[in-house]
Copies of this chain bind each other. A is one copy, B any other.
Amino acid sequence: MFASLTIEELKLLNEGRHSVKFNEGEVILKQGTRADYLVSVIEGFAKMYIEGPHNRNLVLDFIKPWKLMGGPGAQVEGKHKYSVVAVQETLICFIDQGKFKKVLAANSDFSGQYLLHCSGKYLATLDRMVNISQKQMHGRVADALIYLSSEIYECPTIGKEISRMDIAEYACMSKDSAIRVLKEFERDQIINLEGRQIELLDTSRLHEISNKG
């Protein structure tokens, strides 16, 4: 996405940039705080979630290197709409909002790209909303496993940095229910559980479950 920038524009962004290392469990962005910086993961692994009322969280996304965060919230309300927390030790790059906006205004190719990026996130969110509101547990867990495996890990095994609670908060259910469904999938030979690691054995069956809801 940054390919369409000129040298000068990159330089401008670089000036207001700094990197920080976060340890496991540390909060990188806190929902409700002033959004002065865009944030990007350089190394490591993080998750993005909304803290709902009644102390329940909704995991929006898991974040591997080079994903960009913090945009929309900043531009509209000046506050972050969600929190981001490091799942592992993670290296984060902060980009100055003001300078980012300047570059957006100056470079129409870049702003076009960014608009596309935001639209894509919007459409993905609509899909998730339909899934969450119309599928039941098995379908939602299947969705979560497929997403984690194909989009995040890009391999059939989901690593031990993802807890059962994370899956539950991504699939919108209680931790207990998530565990129950995972165990059921294991019994049916669809996945293999080894400690926290989850290995997908039968992805076609998983897709079937996802589609049937």
User: Which residues in window 120-135 of A have CB below 8 A to B?
Assistant: 120-123, 125-126, 128-130, 132-134
Q: Among A115, A120, A128, which residue has the most Cβ atoms of chain B within 10 A?
A: A115
CB distance from A115 to the nearest CB of B (A): 5
The verdict on A119 contacting B118 (CB below 8 Å), with A50-B126, A126-B82, A211-B53 known, is yes
Binding site secondary structure of chain A:
helix
Cβ proximity bits A102-140 to B, threshold 8 Å, 1 near / 0 not: 001110110110111011111101101110111000000
For A172, give the chain B residue with the smallest CB separation.
B133
Chain B residues with CB under 8 Å of A58's CB are: 129-130, 133-134
The verdict on A75 contacting B119 (CB below 8 Å), with A50-B130, A133-B132, A134-B56 known, is yes
CB distance from A208 to the nearest CB of B (A): 12
For A134, give the chain B residue with the smallest CB separation.
B52
How distant is the Cα of A178 from the Cα of B172 in the complex, in angstroms?
Answer: 22
Q: List 14 A-B contacts (CB under 8 A).
A: A50-B126, A53-B213, A58-B130, A72-B119, A75-B119, A76-B116, A76-B120, A82-B126, A104-B115, A105-B108, A114-B115, A129-B129, A129-B132, A133-B133
